[in-house]
Amino acid sequence: MYDLTAMLRSGSDKCLYEQIYEYIRQEIREGKLRPGERLPSTRSLAEYLQISRSTATLAYDQLLSEGYIASRPYRGYYVCQMEELYRLDTGEECDHGEESPIEREMRYVCDFSPTATDMSQFPFSVWRKINKNVLSEGSSGLFAQGDAQGEYSLRETISRYLHSSRGVNCSPQQIIVGAGNDYLLLLLEKILGRHVRIAMENPTYKRAYQIFNSFAYEITTVDMDEAGMSVEGLRQSDVTAAYVMPSHQYPTGVLMPIGRRLELLKWANEAPGRYLIEDDYDSEFRYRGKPIPSLQASDTQGRVIYIGTFSKSIAPAIRVSYMVLPQVLLERYRQQCYFYSATVPRIDQKVLEEFIAEGYFERYLNKMRKRYKEKHDLLLDELADFGADFIVTGENAGLHLLLTGRRGQTESDLVEAARAKGVRVYGLSESLVGKAGEQPGSTVLLGYGGLGLEDIRKGLALLRQAWL
C-alpha cells in the first residue's frame, strides 16, 4: 500500500481529514504520487491509520472535488493527470503518446492517439489455451534459465516469419530476443560501442531519440524529404550510423522508395563500421499495394541492424522484440555481451512461438489489417469532406495519418480547438527533436488504431465543428 506512515503528525492543530487531504495533495504536487497511480481504498486507509472510514472518505471527497484524484466504479481512486502541475515540477514534457487509458478516458471524448492499438479482436481464448497447454506440458524445464539470445526454437520461428513476410535474410543465430525495443537498444549500445555518431530523421520517433540521447551518442538530425532521410544531409553529417523507419516513418508516414534505400545502403557500404538501424515497427499494416520488403532485405553487405516488435502487432503487453544483427556485430555481441541474461521468460517465449507456429499470428494479422483498413478508409472518406483546406499525408500504412491545415491555423491552434471540443489530436512538432526554434507548422497526427468506427465518426464531427 501507498506509504502513509508520515501522513499523520501528532500535535497538529488541523483536523484528521485535513491532514490526510493535505498530505496526499502534496504528494501529488511533488510528483511522488503520479498520474494514474491508484490510492488505497477508504476502508484500507481507515484501517491502516486507525481512523474512521468517514474521515478517510471526507479527505478523498475533498481531493475529488479539487480534481486531484478521480474515482472509477469498482476500481477505486486514481491520481489525475495534471499536465500543468507536472510540467512545472519536472521541467519535462509529458509523454503524450503513452498516457494511460484511464487518464485518456477521463479527459477526452475521443482520442486520436497515434500509438493506441485495437485489442478487441485479440483471440484471448486462443492465447489462454496455448498458455494453459504450455504450462501443463512443460514441467521444470520451462522454469529454468533459458538461452540469453532467446529460445532457439522461437528464433527459428521469428526468422521464418521475417523471411516470408518482410524479406529479411537471417539465420536464427543472428536474432536476439529481448523484452522490448528499449532493452535491445541498450544492448546495441554495448555492441556498437559508447561513442557513436548517429543520424536521425527529423521529425522522428521521440522515444528512440530520448534513448539514444541517454547514451553517450552524438545525435545529428537530418531533414526529410518526400522519400525519407535526405542522403545529402546524411553525407554532410559525419555520422557512423543512421536510424530509419523505411516502411512507415514515424511520424511522417513516409514510405521510403527503393531508390532512396539503395542510396542509404550505398552510403553505409562506403566506409567500414557504418550501420543502418532499421526500426520496422508497424510494417505489418499496409493497406494499398503490395507489401514492401524491409531495408534489410536489400542489404548484401551486412550493414543493416533490423529491429521489430510484437508489442505493436500482437499486444502492447507482449514485451517481445527482436533484433537481427549482421555477422560482424553478432561476433561482437558474443564476445562482449554473452553475459547479459535473457529478459523474456521461457514460458512467454514458448506461448508466442506456438501462437506464431500454429498460424494464429498470421490469421490475427490478416484480421487486424482488414480492421485497421476499415478505420483508415473511413477516416480518409470523412476527411475528404473537410475540403481542400486540409491535406492528408502518410496514409495507406501504419496506424495514423497526418493532416495539414491550410487556413492559417497553427498546429497549436488546431490542437487547442480540438481539445476544447473534447477531442485529442497530436501536434507534429511533438516529434521534432534537437534544434529548437522550428517555425510552427500546422500539421497534426490522427491515430485511428485504438478507435472504433463510431468513435472516428464522432471525433471527426467534433473536429469539423472545431476547425471549420
The only residue of 123, 172, 422, 434 in contact with a copy of itself, by rule CB under 8 A: 172
The only residue of 41, 57, 71, 153 in contact with a copy of itself, by rule CB under 8 A: 153
Q: Binding string to a copy of itself for residues 214 to 243, with x set by CB under 8 A, is what?
A: x-x---------------------------
Question: Does residue 275 contact residue 324 with C-beta atoms inside 8 Å?
Answer: no
- Restricting to residues 326-345, which ones interact with a copy of itself according to CB under 8 A? 334-345
The only residue of 10, 144, 272, 289 in contact with a copy of itself, by rule CB under 8 A: 144
The only residue of 16, 106, 119, 392 in contact with a copy of itself, by rule CB under 8 A: 119
Distance of closest approach, residue 449 Cβ to a copy of itself, in angstroms = 12
Helix (H) or strand (E) holding 39: strand 38-39
Give residues with Cβ within 8 angstroms of 166, minimum separation 6: 280, 283, 291, 293, 294, 296, 297, 308
With 0-12 / 13-18 / 19 or more C-beta atoms within 10 angstroms meaning exposed / middle / buried, residue 200 is buried
Q: Which stretch binds a copy of itself (CB under 8 A): 14-22, 115-123, 417-425, 454-462?
A: 115-123
**Beta carbon nearer to a copy of itself, 115 or 442:** 115
Cα gap 156→175, rounded to integer Å? 9
Strand residues in 162-303 grouped as ranges (E)? 175-178, 197-202, 218-225, 228-229, 241-244, 275-279
**Beta carbon nearer to a copy of itself, 142 or 417:** 142
Cα gap 125→443, rounded to integer Å? 41
SS3 219: strand
**Beta carbon nearer to a copy of itself, 46 or 135:** 135
Tell whether residue 127 is a contact of a copy of itself (CB under 8 A).
yes
**Beta carbon nearer to a copy of itself, 160 or 288:** 160
The only residue of 13, 270, 271, 317 in contact with a copy of itself, by rule CB under 8 A: 317
Residue type for position 193? G
Nine-digit cell string for 366: 490478416
**Beta carbon nearer to a copy of itself, 185 or 418:** 185
**Beta carbon nearer to a copy of itself, 206 or 260:** 206
- Angle, vertex CA 171, rays to CA 351 and CA 363, nearest 5: 40
Cα gap 465→463, rounded to integer Å? 5
**Beta carbon nearer to a copy of itself, 317 or 436:** 317
Distance of closest approach, residue 210 Cβ to a copy of itself, in angstroms = 4
Which conformational region is residue 26 in: left (phi greater than 0), alpha (psi within -120 to 50 degrees), or beta? alpha
**Beta carbon nearer to a copy of itself, 131 or 165:** 131
Tell whether residue 382 is a contact of a copy of itself (CB under 8 A).
no
Question: Does residue 442 contact residue 404 with C-beta atoms inside 8 Å?
Answer: yes
- Restricting to residues 21-60, which ones interact with a copy of itself according to CB under 8 A? 31-34, 36-38
Tell whether residue 311 is a contact of a copy of itself (CB under 8 A).
yes
Rg (CA), the chain: 25
Distance of closest approach, residue 117 Cβ to a copy of itself, in angstroms = 9
Q: How far is CA 251 from CA 234, 254, 384, in A?
A: 19, 8, 21
Q: Which stretch binds a copy of itself (CB under 8 A): 11-19, 203-211, 244-252, 282-290?
A: 203-211
Backbone angles phi, psi at 57, to 5 degrees: -60, -40
Distance of closest approach, residue 34 Cβ to a copy of itself, in angstroms = 8
The only residue of 10, 50, 145, 439 in contact with a copy of itself, by rule CB under 8 A: 145
